[in-house]
Amino acid sequence: MKFWSNPHVVSFARAVEHFESGQDTPRDLLERCIENIERHEQRVKAFVALDLEGARRAADAATQRYKAGRPLSIVDGCPIGIKDIMATRDLPTQMGSPAFAGWRPGHDAACVHALREGGAMIVGKTVTTEFAIGFSGPTTNPFDVRRTPGGSSSGSAAAVGGGMLPVALGTQTQGSTLRPASYCGAVGFKPTLGALHTGGVHPLSITCDHLGVIGATLDDTWRVASQISLRVGSPGHGLLNGASHMPIAPAKPQKILRLHTYGWSEVDSETSGAFEAFLETLAASGVEVVDRHGDARVAALEEALEADVAAALDIVAYEMRWPFEGYIEKFGTVIGERIHGLLKRAAEMTPVEYAALLGKRLELRARYSSVLRDLGAACYVTLSASGPAVEGLAHSGSRAFLVYGSWLGVPAFSLPLLEVSGLPVGIQLLGAAGRDGELCAAAHWVTDALTKGVSCT
């Protein structure tokens, strides 16, 4: 099988050892990123605002710290993009909406604060769909400008995939981190619900919103997630599991459960064939892959997930009533049509119906976890998207493979491993809630096994 290899990768994690030896500096890394921004941004349109001079000042300070042997943190000297629904003290935060054009909150979101305090350079704000759920922005796919980069973290994924940044922040309420990561050939990480602090990130759904990270490599992605966790924690959750261990060492999964949900009806034969070849490679490496045909418990879980999957968007809609009802009252049709439709959907629901949906989700979370535990599996595996990025910019692609992980609040990675028709397609690994570090270790092994030919033992 043919594995994806991104020709544009710019990795901070790979540069750090050269910072420490003096062969490279944070300022030099930033300048390479800026060169790529100047080369690609007019075509890709990943950014809504840039602060290159501020980033250069931060890079120079980081360079001096490395020369003195005193970096501030595991992200000191890392250029980063911030999705434009996250508050920044020195750049506009416009949510992809004309209603907030030019708005400046005057403070940093918790995640931005954590990164600045660790010495990261905030290069700019990346394009988002309207409030991370409405109409798409101008961003194009870095590998084919006729195709979507995915949404809603469109600019973040396109900037990383196009080599303009090593890492950028995203969010995911249904599929908004992992799908664009898949389409743009980057690593995507959606942690356990609540594991990363979302203070200062514009809300959609209090029980579904996740802070996400999109990176050039798994180490880049985990480094940034760890810094946020270590610096600001998360109310009621403590540290991201494994955050104090950098990098996460690869750990071979002995057993993986394949999920075959309704999204497979959307998959073309080339993508399906690439995924089956991936599973064969895993099996040849000594990993047991169990699917619905091999164990009735997997089949029953798939049926249970399908029976109630529509509840995911109902919960989001109900929890969007604040602040969006106020926005519509104030701004009217300036707020996009999709948001109007979701609030209409919410208005038709009762509090009793909403509570029942939350109860169903709790039952499914328990069932999902018990199947994983009872079968002794490391994680579930499926696709991150129905195939390569779809043509056109108005539609950001199907969420069919992604909604489950967001709905259940479990950790998930999209790994840019498959190449289909010359474009990337991600492999999705989903783990147990609160065991993000163990899932990262499995993702590390899978990546190495497929791209480096690591030992089968």
Q: For the residues of 263-329, what is the DSSP string, one character each?
A: GGGG--HHHHHHHHHHHHHHHHTT-EEE-TTT-HHHHHHHHHHHHHTTHHHHHHHHHTHHHHHHHHH
Q: What is the CA radius of gyration of the chain?
A: 21
Among the listed residues 73, 152, 396, 414, the single catalytic one is: 152
Closest CA to 414 of 447, 438, 390: 447
- Residue 152 a catalytic site member: yes
Partner residues linked to 210 by β-bridges: 172
Active site residue 384: no
Which residues sit opposite 419 in a β-bridge?
424
Query: Who contacts 270 (Cβ-Cβ below 8 Å, separation ≥6)?
Result: 387, 420, 421
Instruction: Say which of 45, 83, 190, 252 is annotated catalytic.
Output: 83
Residue 242 CA to residue 222 CA, distance in Å, equals 9
Place of tokens 């030919």: 453
From 154, 176, 205, 229, active-site residue: 176
Q: Which of 34, 270, 42, 45 is nearest to 149 (CA)?
A: 45
Any catalytic annotation for residue 176?
A: yes
Tell me how far apart the alpha carbons of residues 315 and 295 are, in angstroms, rounded to a whole number. 31
Half-sphere exposure of 206 (CA within 13 A, CB side): 6
Q: How far apart are CA 210 and CA 228, in angstroms?
A: 13
Give 268-272's long-range contacts (Cβ < 8 A, gap of 24+).
Answer: 268/387, 268/420, 270/387, 270/420, 270/421, 271/383, 271/386, 271/387, 271/388, 271/418, 271/420, 271/425
432 CB-side CA count, 13 A: 18
The catalytic site residues sit at 83, 152, 176
